[in-house]
Amino acid sequence: MTKLTILSIVTASVLLATGCSDETKKAAADTAKATSQTVAAAANDVKVSAKQVVDAAKEKASAVGDAVAQKASEAKEAAADAVESAKEAVAPKEQSTESAASSAVDGKAVFAKCVACHGQNGKQKALGKSNIIAGQSADEVVEKLKAYKAGTRNVSGMGMTMKAQVSALSDAELEAVAGYISTL
């Protein structure tokens, strides 16, 4: 009986030991699992915070980029404004130069070229052929002079002679001389 008792004690302790060892294994496995979860969680945390840093950096970079783009477009607008106001400053000067030029054209001075054929007072038939120009209205004379300049007027076969007289004259000069003729 003693032998049997010892045997059962041994068996029991073996069983116990085996059970213990299973539990230990399980505990070890659990610990390992928990540890690896903790490590994974920690790694994840590192990942997340790294991602946050990267995102923050990206945001910063794009904010800086936006600011630069904004500044660039502001500069562009300012430059465009400057060009526009420079244009405006120049434009009135151009206009006043133009009107000064046309009012400065002396009809009497231009008529000096015409005197040889039309006479001092415009009462002479040019080359014995033309109509008398004195007494005609300024509008009428301008219209005829522009037609000679364009080569479309030829009353007595001398249209080319008159074209040669007026082709070098500007509209302002034609208007000025017509205005003078209308006073003769």
Closer CB to ligand HEC, residue 105 or residue 144? 144
CB of 87 to ligand HEC, least distance (A): 37
What are the b/e assignments for 33-44, b being 16+ CB within 10 Å? eeeeeeeeeeee
Instruction: State which amino acid sits at residue 155.
Output: V
Instruction: State how far the Cα of 85 lies from the Cα of 78, in Å rounded to an integer.
Output: 10
CB of 179 to ligand HEC, least distance (A): 11
Please say whether the beta carbons of 156 and 89 come within 8 A.
Answer: no
Report phi then psi at 43, rounded to 5. -60, -40
CB of 142 to ligand HEC, least distance (A): 9
2: number of CA atoms within 13 Å, CB side?
A: 0
Question: Which residues lie near ligand HEC (CB under 6 A)?
Answer: 110, 113-114, 116-118, 126-127, 129-131, 133, 141, 144-145, 153-159, 161-162, 165-166, 177
CB of 121 to ligand HEC, least distance (A): 13
Burial of 59 (C-beta count, 10 Å sphere; 0-12/13-18/19+): exposed
Please say whether the beta carbons of 151 and 159 come within 8 A.
Answer: yes
CB of 83 to ligand HEC, least distance (A): 42
Q: Collect all residues with Cβ–Cβ distance below 8 Å to 162 and sequence separation of at least 6.
A: 145, 148, 153
CB of 108 to ligand HEC, least distance (A): 11
Closer CB to ligand HEC, residue 161 or residue 172? 161
Closer CB to ligand HEC, residue 159 or residue 172? 159
Q: What is the number of the residue whose Cβ is closest to ligand HEC?
A: 114
Closer CB to ligand HEC, residue 38 or residue 156? 156
Q: Name the one residue in this structure whose structure tokens are 């600011």.
A: 67
Closer CB to ligand HEC, residue 47 or residue 129? 129
Closer CB to ligand HEC, residue 25 or residue 129? 129
